Structure 1
Amino acid sequence: MFSSPLRRALKRGLKPGGDLVEELRGLDDYVISSKNDALAVCRALETLPGDRSQNTRHFSTPLHELTGLFQDVDGKQCPAFDVLYEEGLPELIRIFDEIVEDASEEEIDDLLYVLKILAMYGSFEGAQKIVEAAQMEINCDAYMWHVILSTFSEDHPQRDFVLKALSDPLPSGFLAIGLLDSANGAAIHGTLEEHPFDSPGGTQMLTQWLQDTDPEKFSYAHSATAALPFISNPARDQLLALAMDHADSGVQLEAAWAAGKLGRETGLKVLAQFCLDVNHSDMAQRYLEELDRAELIPSDAQDEAFQAKAEFSNWLSHPNELGRAPDSLEIVDHRQIAWPPEGQPQPMWLIRYTLHDETGLEEDDVDCGLVGSMTWCFFCYKMDQRPPEDVYAIHAYWEMENAELIDEHEVTDPNEYAGMLSQWTGDPLEAPTITQVTEVSPKLNIPARFVAVATAKLAGQDGCVVLDGPRSTWYPKDEQPNETIDSVLLKIHVGHQLLGFENVPNRKSYLRDKAPSRTPEEFLAAYEKLLDVATDASSPDQKKQLGSHSMLARHFERYIELLTDAKQVERNAAVIATYQRLLLAARQASEEVQEEAFDSFGILGEGFDVYVDALKADSREAEIVGLIEAFEPHWQHNLGYGRLGRAAFLAGHGDIAEPFFVKIRDGMESYYRCEEMSMLAEIWYNRGDQTEARQLLIKCLTNTRKDFQESEYLSDRKMFAESYQYHRATYLRLFTDGEEDLAAQELPVDLG
């Protein structure tokens, strides 16, 4: 009997010793359509939850992988859908009930994923479980709640049940925002009879969000304002007044829409004014059109150049991009270009944005993006330091790549394409190495078909050569912005052909000196100002400065360097004093701030290794043990285990380090590439377990070599080779017969 790839993967994964997660990952983009496939998924679910202690082997779990298969069904009309609906959903609900009471943090994420699927499939029993979970407030601040509840915003069969069930009592945390946005969506589409927040408790929550002065919560105020047309008076007018006077212009814009929705001319006039604000024009015009008052859009706002800037500002403001409107916009180039693949002339704008630094620690963020065929900005390509022709070329190449008319790939074996080097007929190249190759579709109607880029030197000058037959070109490094990667030159070269650009621009004239504009004294003063904020429990910005990705973390090393150089402070003393000041502030902060402060990517996490090194260099190893005890409850993950184990190892406490390293070994697929495994082997060796140490290092070397051999990318191979050499050096240091032993194991000196 025929067995599909899915059923074979499930069978292998469910066997004793099988790895269900790995098997299902190998299916890639498998689509489920048959009844038998769906039945096999249901039978697999019947085996769960199983031994939950084994779920730390991967970054995923069997439940997560099986739940994800419900999203891979080929539509509601295929036989698989009914089977999963009738038999699969009850299994998901059963598993949810068995796990929820004592679920770990990772399992909670899986359960929220289950709720997402229950919402998608639309059964009443699934909706009941979602309501139950929401009322239990399971991880109520998780973003996944917004995803789950957004499903109920329009035509969902269980929408009215869910919104009504959660209206009294209303949930808290981000779960409440998810409910609010879902209800707003339904109300705006005119299909909601009663808004769940149209109650004393609801208006109290709306008031709190509108009065919150934390900029990170302004999006909550935005959602609250969107609800106002559907809230009863007298609360509505009081809330609308708060929204109109809000500190955030985006909330003010939403308030103008709400007033316009209620038929108030004042709101419509404010929307018309916002149309002339380049950072809000796009949305203001959409709102007036939605309200059937497009005639109020000022003529100046309909100018093509203005609209291009408004479109770019709106794009930049998205949370996935800059996350806020730029401070200024400037059109640096505008022209009609015959854009591929059709070659029809299109108006194109290149627009430079500036985002002013507000901290005194960084330069202003300046770059250039495109509005035309699409709106986009490559933040890492330094387009503001490139001639317009190169910018257009890069965008054209990238769009054709997305259209699958250009296929670019990294070269794993430069010798495979070495023959292309003969296409270069200029002066001899020094040490040319081909790194990227691209294939251009004939549909693009340019001479190039197979084009490669190679790093090299020409007459002692660093640069890249693009190999393209008689069109092969040398691109000197000093004509490009700093840190330009090889593939960008490939894009420029092919893109010029796509757009018919024949003249070579003066690239050097566009380069800009990036020397810091602030003196060391100014930088130190700015950093210490933020330090004061971070250590002030009364400051509303303390959480931001102590938390993930803070400016203090980003510039910690430079601050220490300047203290050392400009103020003649000894480095280790500077590190220890600064870190201890932050650590004390975190320990004394509120629970909410502590959660952020002790995050792996906050200032304490980012500076942890540097602080440990400073303590060790200052012969203060005893303090490291207390530090580990303070961080261990917060760092229950592989990154944390590695940092804590390394700290204990450096402090000479192998007994403390070992459990952390063992957790990495047991809970991480690619543990064998981690430096911590060499430390673990050394711990075992020092206490006399030399056989175990030898076996661990041999396994690390063997598996790392296998990864190297199977890798398709030079960048990965380089990383694997470095891991291999690290473990090899440890082996040779520990074992006097190391060279002979490794040779006998067929483990080479280097991986080539």
Structure 2
Amino acid sequence: MFSSPLRRALKRGLKPGGDLVEELRGLDDYVISSKRDAEAICEALSTLPGDRSYSTKHFSTPLHELTGLFQDVDGRQCPAFEQLYEEGLPELIRIFDAMVDDASNEEVDDLLYVLKILAMYGSFEGAQKVVEAARMSLKPEAFMWHVILSTFSEEHPQREFVLQALSDPLPTGFVAIGLLDSANGAAINGAFDQHPFDSSAGTRMLRQWLEDPDPEKFSYAHSATAALPFISNPPRDELLALAMDHPDPGVQMEAGWAAGELGRESGLEVLARFCLDVNHSDTAQRYLEELERADLIPSEAQEESFQAKAEFSSWLSHPNELGQAPDSLEIVDHRQLNWPPEGKRRPMWLIRYVLRDDTGLEEDDIDCGLVGSVTWCFFLYKMNQRPPEDVYAIHCYWEMEHAELIDEQEVTDPNEYAGMLAQWTGDPLESPTITQVAEISPKLNIPARFVALATARLAGAEGWVVLDGARSTWFPQAEQPSDVHESVILKIHVGRQLLGFNDQPDRKSFLVEETPSRSPEEYLAAYEKLLDDAVDAGCPHQKKLLGNHSLLASHFERYIDLLVETKKVDRHEAIIQAYQRLLTAAQHASETVQEEAFDSFGILGVSFDAYVDALKSQNHEAEIAATIEVFEPHWQHNLGYGRLGSAAYLAGQYDVAEPFFLNIRDGMDSYYRSETMSMLAEIWHQRGETKAASDLLIDCLKQNRTDFQESEYLSDRQMFAESYQGHRATYLRLFSDGEEELAKEGLPDELG
């Protein structure tokens, strides 16, 4: 009988020396339906836990990959589901029990993933294991608990058991929030009589969340408020009053809904008022509709322009966008347009938002988005500095791309499309280079089928030419906002044709001069105030200041620049002093703050190299060694190995650097592109291991050459060529006969 791709991958991965993670990842979107596939998964699970060493090569484990296969089953009716239910779930439970008592941090993540599958499949034994894990406080702050427990809010066969089992005693941490949200969902659907938090212990927790002043915990207050219609008096009314007075508008609206659910007119009045707040109208109207009181929505809130602004505000407030409501919204253009591909006439709005800076470090965030088709804002295109027609054109082109009616590609070989340059009949172009090409579907009903974009100079001025037959157009760089990707020019040109915009606008008149609105002294004072707050463990904003997306991190370099410029301090000393304040603050912060602060891209990670360079310049090699020891537990990955190894190498501590570099060589597929391999070769060469050094560099050169030859993209080729040149320079520096040896290996001076 023929074997399936899954069974073949499992067989290869389970062989001695096999890589099960890599084999399973190679299956892509494989769907599991047969019993034999499910049996093979169960057989593979029977080999676990096995070797529990964690490999940073994939940032995954065999357990994680095998567990993930349970999600790839083709429905509950296929033979694979029954087999995994009967045989696979017991294997997962066995593995969980074998690992949980001494699980590492990474293994706990895998075990939570196992719990997710146990919850999803609906067995009683699986639900028991979820309850057991919740009671043992297994990483109780992990978001995965919300995913696990949310499974039990729908028509889950074990819902009643889990919610009752966890109601006394109630769990702690984020597990409690997961239980609360799951119970709220079930209660709203009338699934049970008594809410798990309808107890003295439960109402105490609800009160704590409602009284917590930390803005990052306001979502907990929101969940607490959603439970209030299902909580008994007298505590319910006290908690509802707290929710009504909560500083977060979202919690206030939830309180309005809760009061309305209880039949109280005061709650409906709150929601009606919020309907007139453009930043909260969408939610307030939805709540009134859920309460079957849409008649209370004010007529002003139902006007088209108001609803357009409300929709845009809701979109901007999503965590994936601005993450908060803007301070102001203004409609800058409104018109009816025949929108492709159907050409249906639609009302469109361009809306400018302003989000004011309250830190003293940044300019106000001002941009423009579209409502009417797909609500969207291109934050990097500076739409507020463009004519309305260009903005509509960009959005239109983008939507047609997503509809697969336009296929835009980066040009890897400009010579392939060089013949299109003949379409330009204007004044001679200087140094034209085609960078993008777009294929237009005939369904869009415009003359062009292939349109190309080229960078060039015209009469000495930089710009772009769009090559489109008789419609070919020159776009001067001086008429475009600065620092925007060139592909936007192609979008403007084609999008204007799609929408029938023929007249060229005065683009320069829309540009805004971008000048700082505050003096260097004001900027320094603002940064130092935030720095003082960051080192204050009692500051409620410490996590925001030291965590991900910290302004102190993104403005660190400019802060140092201005210190040097205005106060004439030594640059390296300024870096050392500022960085050490941040480092000390992070070391004394809570565990959750530390996790973000020590992240490779966190506040300490982004300036780590500058700090090490500064220490080296001041001959503080001992402090570099101490810094490496501090960061090593946090940076157990290839990026961390590279940065820590490079720091040790810079300090002349080659015995410390070498193990980090070896981790990269042995655990990173593209190790040969890393400059750390040149450093490793230098260490070996200095130690007299010249053959090993030579072999490593030649291996890196050959693999970079192969990648260069096989790459389809010009930008990737440039990257491979730069890596090649770096290793080649190292080889020539280390070996006096390097030119001759490289020639013997067929390795040229340059790739191309």
Tell me which interval the TM-score lies in, with the shorter structure as reference length: over 0.9
Q: In the alignment, residue 216 of structure 2 is paired with which amino acid?
A: E
What's the counterpart of residue 351 of structure 1?
Answer: 351
The alignment partner of 2:366 has SS state of: strand
- Deviates further, 638-647 or 275-284: 638-647
* Structure-2 separation of matches of 1:616 and 1:293: 69
What's the counterpart of residue 409 of structure 2?
Answer: 409
Shift of 1:590: 4.4
Deviations 1:135-191 (A, max 9, x none): 222222222221222222111222112222222222222222122111111111222
Shift of 1:410: 1.9
Q: How does 1:468-483 map to 2 (within 5 A)?
A: 468-483=468-483
Q: What's the Cα RMSD here?
A: 1.9
- Alignment check: 8 A CA contact 1:58 1:669 kept: no
* Structure-2 separation of matches of 1:51 and 1:709: 38
Are residues 46 and 681 of structure 1, via their aligned partners in 2, closer, same or farther at CA, if it must alter by over 3 Å? same
* Structure-2 separation of matches of 1:409 and 1:41: 40
The alignment partner of 2:462 has SS state of: strand
The alignment partner of 1:295 has SS state of: helix
Structure 2 gaps of 5+ residues are: none
- Alignment check: 8 A CA contact 1:55 1:62 kept: no
**In the alignment, structure 1 residue 703 sits paired with structure 2 residue 703:** yes
TM-score normalised by structure 1 residue count: 0.96
* Structure-2 separation of matches of 1:700 and 1:79: 48
What's the counterpart of residue 265 of structure 2?
Answer: 265
- Alignment check: 8 A CA contact 2:434 2:454 kept: yes
- Alignment check: 8 A CA contact 2:64 2:113 kept: yes
- Deviates further, 3-12 or 696-705: 3-12
What's the counterpart of residue 43 of structure 1?
Answer: 43
What's the counterpart of residue 736 of structure 1?
Answer: 736
Shift of 1:541: 1.7
Are residues 717 and 62 of structure 1, via their aligned partners in 2, closer, same or farther at CA, if it must alter by over 3 Å? farther
- Alignment check: 8 A CA contact 1:547 1:601 kept: no
The alignment partner of 1:376 has SS state of: coil
* Structure-2 separation of matches of 1:269 and 1:697: 73
Shift of 1:192: 2.8
Shift of 1:266: 0.7
* Structure-2 separation of matches of 1:194 and 1:707: 63
Count how many residue pairs are aligned between Structure 1 and Structure 2: 752
Q: In the alignment, residue 71 of structure 1 is paired with which amino acid?
A: Q
* Structure-2 separation of matches of 1:247 and 1:189: 29
The alignment partner of 1:748 has SS state of: coil
Q: How does 1:573-584 map to 2 (within 5 A)?
A: 573-584=573-584
* Structure-1 separation of matches of 2:594 and 2:55: 28
Deviations 1:544-584 (A, max 9, x none): 21222211111000000000001111111111121222223
Q: In the alignment, residue 211 of structure 2 is paired with which amino acid?
A: Q
What's the counterpart of residue 651 of structure 1?
Answer: 651
Q: In the alignment, residue 380 of structure 2 is paired with which amino acid?
A: C
What's the counterpart of residue 464 of structure 2?
Answer: 464
* Structure-2 separation of matches of 1:67 and 1:710: 35
**In the alignment, structure 1 residue 425 sits paired with structure 2 residue 425:** yes
* Structure-2 separation of matches of 1:689 and 1:343: 71
Are residues 496 and 184 of structure 1, via their aligned partners in 2, closer, same or farther at CA, if it must alter by over 3 Å? same
Are residues 23 and 595 of structure 1, via their aligned partners in 2, closer, same or farther at CA, if it must alter by over 3 Å? closer
- Alignment check: 8 A CA contact 2:225 2:243 kept: yes
* Structure-2 separation of matches of 1:468 and 1:103: 62
Are residues 135 and 739 of structure 1, via their aligned partners in 2, closer, same or farther at CA, if it must alter by over 3 Å? farther
Are residues 107 and 590 of structure 1, via their aligned partners in 2, closer, same or farther at CA, if it must alter by over 3 Å? closer
Q: In the alignment, residue 735 of structure 1 is paired with which amino acid?
A: F
* Structure-2 separation of matches of 1:732 and 1:643: 25
Are residues 61 and 743 of structure 1, via their aligned partners in 2, closer, same or farther at CA, if it must alter by over 3 Å? farther
* Structure-2 separation of matches of 1:63 and 1:430: 58
The alignment partner of 1:454 has SS state of: strand
**In the alignment, structure 1 residue 623 sits paired with structure 2 residue 606:** no
The alignment partner of 1:435 has SS state of: strand
- Alignment check: 8 A CA contact 1:407 1:440 kept: yes
* Structure-1 separation of matches of 2:370 and 2:159: 41
What's the counterpart of residue 496 of structure 1?
Answer: 496
- Deviates further, 47-56 or 322-331: 47-56
* Structure-2 separation of matches of 1:528 and 1:128: 52
- Alignment check: 8 A CA contact 1:7 1:40 kept: yes
Are residues 95 and 428 of structure 1, via their aligned partners in 2, closer, same or farther at CA, if it must alter by over 3 Å? farther
- Deviates further, 593-602 or 571-580: 593-602
* Structure-2 separation of matches of 1:110 and 1:431: 55
* Structure-2 separation of matches of 1:137 and 1:631: 27
- Alignment check: 8 A CA contact 2:56 2:638 kept: no
* Structure-1 separation of matches of 2:276 and 2:458: 53
* Structure-1 separation of matches of 2:596 and 2:57: 27
Q: In the alignment, residue 96 of structure 1 is paired with which amino acid?
A: F
* Structure-2 separation of matches of 1:710 and 1:163: 56
* Structure-2 separation of matches of 1:39 and 1:422: 63
The alignment partner of 2:152 has SS state of: coil
* Structure-2 separation of matches of 1:599 and 1:384: 34
* Structure-1 separation of matches of 2:702 and 2:64: 30
Q: How does 1:44-443 map to 2 (within 5 A)?
A: 44-53=44-53, 55-443=55-443
- Deviates further, 427-436 or 253-262: 427-436
* Structure-1 separation of matches of 2:125 and 2:706: 48
- Alignment check: 8 A CA contact 1:678 1:730 kept: yes
* Structure-2 separation of matches of 1:669 and 1:490: 36
Are residues 593 and 56 of structure 1, via their aligned partners in 2, closer, same or farther at CA, if it must alter by over 3 Å? closer
- Alignment check: 8 A CA contact 1:209 1:217 kept: yes
- Alignment check: 8 A CA contact 2:56 2:637 kept: no
The alignment partner of 1:578 has SS state of: helix
Are residues 169 and 472 of structure 1, via their aligned partners in 2, closer, same or farther at CA, if it must alter by over 3 Å? same
Shift of 1:393: 1.2
- Alignment check: 8 A CA contact 2:423 2:470 kept: yes
- Deviates further, 430-439 or 200-209: 430-439
* Structure-1 separation of matches of 2:433 and 2:84: 52
- Alignment check: 8 A CA contact 2:480 2:507 kept: yes
* Structure-2 separation of matches of 1:356 and 1:553: 20
What's the counterpart of residue 30 of structure 2?
Answer: 30
Shift of 1:467: 2.0
Shift of 1:328: 0.3
Q: In the alignment, residue 53 of structure 1 is paired with which amino acid?
A: S
What's the counterpart of residue 680 of structure 1?
Answer: 680
What's the counterpart of residue 613 of structure 1?
Answer: 613
Are residues 292 and 607 of structure 1, via their aligned partners in 2, closer, same or farther at CA, if it must alter by over 3 Å? same
The alignment partner of 1:427 has SS state of: coil
Shift of 1:592: 4.7
The alignment partner of 1:503 has SS state of: coil
Deviations 1:291-326 (A, max 9, x none): 011111111111110011011111111111111100
- Alignment check: 8 A CA contact 2:56 2:636 kept: no
* Structure-2 separation of matches of 1:412 and 1:96: 49
Q: In the alignment, residue 315 of structure 1 is paired with which amino acid?
A: W
Q: How does 1:477-626 map to 2 (within 5 A)?
A: 477-626=477-626
TM-score normalised by structure 2 residue count: 0.96
- Alignment check: 8 A CA contact 1:406 1:438 kept: yes
The alignment partner of 2:153 has SS state of: coil
Q: Equivalent pairs: percent with the same residue?
A: 77
The alignment partner of 1:604 has SS state of: coil
Deviations 1:404-462 (A, max 9, x none): 22222222222222222222222232222222222222222222222222222222222
* Structure-2 separation of matches of 1:4 and 1:431: 54
* Structure-1 separation of matches of 2:601 and 2:741: 41
The alignment partner of 2:53 has SS state of: helix
Are residues 74 and 593 of structure 1, via their aligned partners in 2, closer, same or farther at CA, if it must alter by over 3 Å? closer
The alignment partner of 1:353 has SS state of: strand
- Alignment check: 8 A CA contact 2:278 2:313 kept: yes
Q: In the alignment, residue 583 of structure 1 is paired with which amino acid?
A: L
* Structure-2 separation of matches of 1:54 and 1:261: 50
- Alignment check: 8 A CA contact 1:187 1:195 kept: yes
Are residues 581 and 285 of structure 1, via their aligned partners in 2, closer, same or farther at CA, if it must alter by over 3 Å? same
- Alignment check: 8 A CA contact 2:385 2:481 kept: yes
Are residues 41 and 361 of structure 1, via their aligned partners in 2, closer, same or farther at CA, if it must alter by over 3 Å? same
Shift of 1:125: 2.1
